[in-house]
Amino acid sequence: MKYFNKIKRFNLLVAFAALVILTTSCNKELEQIPEAVVTPPTGETLDKVLQGNADDNLYYQLVVRGNQLGLINNTHLFTMFVPNDMGMKVFINAASGGQIPLNAPDAYFSGFIANYISVQQAAAIVQYNTMPQVITSASIPNVFPNFYYPSAFNPAPNVSALARLDVYPSTRNGIPGLLPGWLNNIPITGVDQMASNGVIHHIATLVTPNSRTLWDRISTESDLTYLKAAIETADIGAAPGSTLQGYLSQFGPDFTVFAPVDTAFTSFIKNLLVANMVPGFIADLLIANYGTTILTNPGSIPIIGTLLAQQITPTNVKGIVVYHVLGHRAFTNNFPTTETAYPTLLNSGLPTHPGVKLNATFGSVPGLPFPLVTSATVTDVRNNVANIFINTQPLTPDPYGTSDQNFLNGTLNKISAVLSPQ
């Protein structure tokens, strides 16, 4: 395969990058968190301010349900991100599978919090939406990659009592007077309600922590079977503790994975076969009959198996896989609105590689007063464009949505094409 021949010269550097890239991605630099010098005013503590906000009643109930009043009614300093009652209703409507419509009486929503959200779940949600420092709107950064801030939520107490799941507030692509910014991919709708021990910002709906990892999603998704096979092939011969699968399976690293769906991979494989004199109908038959085996055991394919095995090696496949991963967590709402190049994990072994170009387009969404991302693209070095499949319900992407899927160790976006690193 000519394509795989071309990337053979990547082999030694990519093999080295497999160690360097992923190891460095796991070691976050806490120094990047900007320190804001804030002197909170005197007055009521956060719990009293929250209780006094008539439109924050449902979130206050969530705080009580999770036994979290003690977290926010003392002299420690916090920043809280709080959805108003309508934002909570959007969340509960989605969490109930639509069984509780948005126009249902408030008692239905209160009942859901009391009866269908466990104390542990409520505590995790409140802690994830609370940061143990004061960050006013003036201190929220406007950069990409995003700054991260530790939340009060520890998703892995068995690993470390100091572990914290990060959140990503940003003003990038915000609109003054209309959309102050974002918490992860959820719009911030109001800012800077001060309390004696911190500040409250309001958001359009809840941001919830995910207990799953990127590999949990990739390895079980019905339309990501070729990506799963590619990662497993890339890990053949890797030293224990340095596999892609291992890093995608653990809390600690922070990645953005652009995940080609199966139809993208089959198109990619067919193009490779056709480019090397395999008739299109034969290529279709090979893909239909052998599927992911073309990646995991290419030598077993009749007639052309020897050639495939020489070209589809674990190192070559690894070069393709790491080109689909950024070494930091990113959300599409923070992508540049003018196509801009950024490095991928491949750049840790090939520093001069051009990386990928990212771009997002914002548009109006029916029923919402602010714009959201309506399309986003990733472009490779050949100027092939892969479209990100944007969630159909952007404010309530379920755990099986297609864009900005947020996991313990990064985000995942399904894309329409395989990216070529050369």
Q: Confidence class of residue 40 from pLDDT cuts 50, 70 and 90?
A: low
What burial letters (b/e) apply to 130-158, b meaning 16+ CB within 10 Å?
bbbbbbbbebbbeebbbbbbbbbbbbeee
Whether residue 59 lies inside any domain: the answer is yes
Checking if the pLDDT of 175 tops 80, the result is yes
Q: H-type helices in 132-279, by residue range?
A: 214-220, 225-234, 244-248, 262-275
The answer on 45 and 21 residing in a single domain is no
Whether residue 144 lies inside any domain: the answer is no
pLDDT at 240: 84
The answer on 91 and 10 residing in a single domain is no
Considering 175, 203, 231, which residue would you say is the last residue of a domain?
203
pLDDT at 219: 97
Distance CA 224, CA 232 (A): 13
The answer on 240 and 176 residing in a single domain is no
Whether residue 146 lies inside any domain: the answer is no
pLDDT at 278: 83
16-20, 78-82, 115-119, 169-173: lowest mean pLDDT where?
Answer: 16-20
- Domains held by the chain: number: 2
The answer on 47 and 101 residing in a single domain is yes
The answer on 89 and 18 residing in a single domain is no
The answer on 66 and 8 residing in a single domain is no
Phi, psi angle pair for 306, to nearest 5°:
-60, -45
Q: What is the mean pLDDT of residues 77-90?
A: 97
Quick: pLDDT tens for 250-289. Answer: 988 899 999 999 999 999 999 888 887 888 898 899 999 9
pLDDT at 42: 65
Considering 203, 230, 255, which residue would you say is the last residue of a domain?
203
Whether residue 422 lies inside any domain: the answer is no
Q: What is the mean pLDDT of residues 319-339?
A: 96
pLDDT at 234: 96
The answer on 237 and 183 residing in a single domain is no
The answer on 175 and 266 residing in a single domain is no
Whether residue 94 lies inside any domain: the answer is yes
pTM, whole model, 2 decimals?
0.89
Whether residue 147 lies inside any domain: the answer is no
The answer on 18 and 45 residing in a single domain is no
Question: What's 179's domain CATH number?
Answer: 2.30.180.10
The answer on 291 and 329 residing in a single domain is yes
Considering 178, 203, 228, which residue would you say is the last residue of a domain?
203
- Between strands 78-83 and 130-131, the pairing is antiparallel
Whether residue 294 lies inside any domain: the answer is yes
Distance CA 274, CA 2 (A): 11
Distances (CA, A) of 153 to 32, 38, 208, 347: 20, 23, 11, 32
Give the domain range for residue 74: 41-133+166-203
Checking if the pLDDT of 394 tops 80, the result is yes
The answer on 216 and 299 residing in a single domain is yes
The answer on 352 and 253 residing in a single domain is yes
Whether residue 35 lies inside any domain: the answer is no
Checking if the pLDDT of 380 tops 50, the result is yes
